[in-house]
Chain A
């Protein structure tokens, strides 16, 4: 039987990136919401809800980057220099975010500084990721087998828009995660955050969705041509349903539904991006097939992915299960 390995791998990398945005999304969202929490006690409580799992969540980003290097090396070699300042900013932001989990407990004098770093690092990483997405949607200039654009190509009103949208999206994920993982005053505060964030997110998704088809003629054809145009009917309807679930979940003070609804909003927005992109990996000139490495590379790693990813999902799920339920103030896990 013949497998279209590049296509399978494009799907797997898309899943890794989606898993990253969802899992580290609520981590980064909590960082973004940090200054709006009541006091140090509440901030550390929020941090404790993700402390046992954030490292695993961030690993999906390494899988996305490493996977791209492995199976679409040409895309990796073109996109990274093209988005250079954004990638560097994201990495530096993630450094401050990541070390804060330990550092805030290791010093009194500098505690406020590392809390500030947790917020700033999360915010910068989120903006950089959102802008990188926008810049990628807009298209990357390719010359031969290399990036052919300038230092500032990534900066545009559209990329700023997607940067803001992702920050708001992550914050919504973070707020609904806190609804799920906390109780009492913190829960109530998270519910108050989630509502305006959800409204802003809905508006931003609307603007991005309306702008995207007009960025490139290929996108317009994808969304309003046949048969891909069928997605124009399906994705917005499902998205409206998910937004409705977020709204009613918040209204009914449901503690799980708002988070699941926000996850659904992310998944559908991501699917929408997929509709625009296909069959390109790096619009407007590099397709999935062109960017792919040889089948011998793709097949070798696919064997491992097929065996290992289910195992990874199982023990990651187990870890979440161990740390399930509400996190309370004073709950040191020791």
Chain B
């Protein structure tokens, strides 16, 4: 089976599959943890019950998604070794401590306070519960900090030396952690997580407004989400643009591949190829639809600064353009659509129709999952754009792989695919069903017994359960 596919292709595909499946969850929980902290703070400040109901509503969803994020993340912490053993040996001294700090400053923090956040309000009181909720949110951001620092080091390595057995060894931790692309990537990803969450929350709010425009909780979440879209989407577009300029400086081949530029522009004046069909084998982009000079303006803020095309790089150092040309464009398009929805919402808000504009609500529902797609596209762009290297310019992917045989990797790949689709597919289904519950009606739903307000459930079969808990 699969005899013509090499172990390295299988290992790459397996890692791409498991890491893509994983990023979906933190992209949501990073934003949702902060949102929950805000909701809980608003409840404590204003004592408006709708905020508490919203907190409980999203808390249940958070618990399911966070669980999936944890189990899919543990896979990754071991897959560096199982699939990329040589990479692990060589990069461990630099990347390992960054991941170690992620565990020590983020994972334990999240896990230690998650139980209190989910189940502990009555046991510890409002004040400590608020603290636990804020700490969980802080933990998700700390986690993003370290893992993005590690990823950024693979894109723009700095502060290292090489020892006599060929390992990359740390020389300046400050330079390693705050490597050149890290600040950009950190801002871009955290904003992406916030936007992803805002659009999920907005989509769910819009969905319930479409069914019942009197629903107060739905109105609150929709309004909050649309403020986020209005404010954060333009910031994200700006941050993404800055990130691109940083990439041009440190990974010009990636930019050339993203833009479908096979030929260099030594005099500047590069067009922006809006659409086209990059052909890596032929070394050109077919059917180009381009805007003259705009590429140069965006990338160099100048009409005459030189821009490198893929032809400026040796053939075995070129990333492939065909895929990331499109993933990049899709991501950017989603970003502008998000900004568009934010503008539309502020128009409706100004007209006093924010909660009574069915087409706006329909658009928000359609845009609900768009953040996930944008995040995936962005990661595919940056990771595939780094090829053929795992550590830019230093270690090739083909030299990173573990000494595994293709049959072992193909069996485990198959197992991962089957289990992930089944488990995370089911989880996604449960999350969507939770989102389908109408907020403000938690009590009624509780009596149906299918969905509950908290992760720990009194046994449904016990008719006395409800009475007994009241004395708890």
Q: Mark B449-462, 1 if CB is under 8 A from A, else 0.
A: 11111111111011
Q: Contact between A88 and B469 (Cβ–Cβ < 8 Å)?
A: no
Q: Which 5 pairs from chain A and chain B are nearest by CB?
A: A73-B92, A70-B96, A80-B81, A52-B115, A333-B119
Structural contact, A74 and B459, CB atoms closer than 8 A: no
Query: Is B404 within 8 A of A95, CB to CB?
Result: no
Q: A53-B115, A322-B124 are in contact. List 11 more A-B contacts (CB 8 A).
A: A51-B115, A55-B110, A59-B111, A69-B80, A70-B96, A88-B412, A101-B455, A147-B403, A296-B171, A323-B120, A333-B120
Q: Which of A69, A74, A102, A330 contacts B99 (CB 8 A)?
A: A69
Which of B's residues lie within 8 Å of A, judged by CB?
63-64, 67-68, 70-75, 77-78, 80-82, 85-86, 88-97, 99-105, 107-116, 118-124, 163, 165, 167, 169-171, 173, 402-405, 407-408, 412, 415-416, 419, 423, 426-427, 430, 433-434, 449-459, 461-462, 464-465, 468-469, 472
CB distance from A293 to the nearest CB of B (A): 4
On chain B, the residues within 8 Å of A315 by CB distance are: 108-109, 112-113
Q: Tell me the minimal C-beta distance from B424 to chain A in angstroms.
A: 8
Contacts of B114 in A (CB 8 A): 55-56
Is A220 close to B, CB under 8 A?
A: no
Residues of B within 8 A of A319 (CB): 112-113, 115-116
Q: B426 near A95 (CB under 8 angstroms)?
A: no
**Known contacts A91-B75, A145-B165, A146-B403: does B93 contact A297 (CB below 8 Å)?**
yes
Interface residue total, chain A, C-beta cutoff 8 A: 79
Are B107 and A62 in contact, CB atoms less than 8 angstroms apart? yes
Chain A residues within an 8 Å CB radius of B101: 301, 304
Chain A residues 89 to 120 lying within 8 A of chain B, measured CB to CB, are 91-92, 94-96, 98-99, 101-103, 105-108, 110
Q: A55-B70, A329-B459, A330-B462 are in contact. Are A110 and B92 (CB under 8 A)?
A: no
Interface hub of A294, A301, A334 (most chain B Cβ within 10 A): A334
Please report the C-alpha to C-alpha distance between residue A51 and residue B67 in the assembled complex, in whole angstroms. Answer: 11
**Closest CB-CB distance, A311 to chain B, in whole Å?**
9
CB pair A98 B70 closer than 8 Å: yes
Looking at the assembled complex, report how far the CB atom of A158 sits from the nearest CB atom of chain B, in whole angstroms: 22
Which residue from chain B places its CB closest to the CB of A97 in the assembled complex? B71
Q: Which residues of A contact B89 (CB under 8 A)?
A: 73-74, 76-77, 145-146
How far apart are the CA atoms of A110 and B427 in the complex, in Å?
Answer: 12
User: Which A residues fall within an 8 A CB radius of B?
Assistant: 40-41, 44-45, 48, 51-53, 55-56, 58-59, 61-63, 65-74, 76-81, 84-85, 87-88, 91-92, 94-96, 98-99, 101-103, 105-108, 110, 145-148, 151, 293-294, 296-297, 300-301, 304-305, 308-309, 312, 315-316, 318-319, 322-323, 328-334
Most buried by B among A76, A84, A85: A84
A32, B93: Cα distance in complex, Å: 37
Q: How far is the CA of A106 from the CA of B454 in the complex (A)?
A: 11
Establish whether residues A333 and B80, one from each chain, have CB atoms under 8 Å apart when the complex forms: no
Looking at the assembled complex, report how far the CB atom of B403 sits from the nearest CB atom of chain A, in whole angstroms. 5
Residues of B within 8 A of A56 (CB): 108, 111-112, 114-115
A82-B433 Cα distance, complex, nearest whole Å: 42
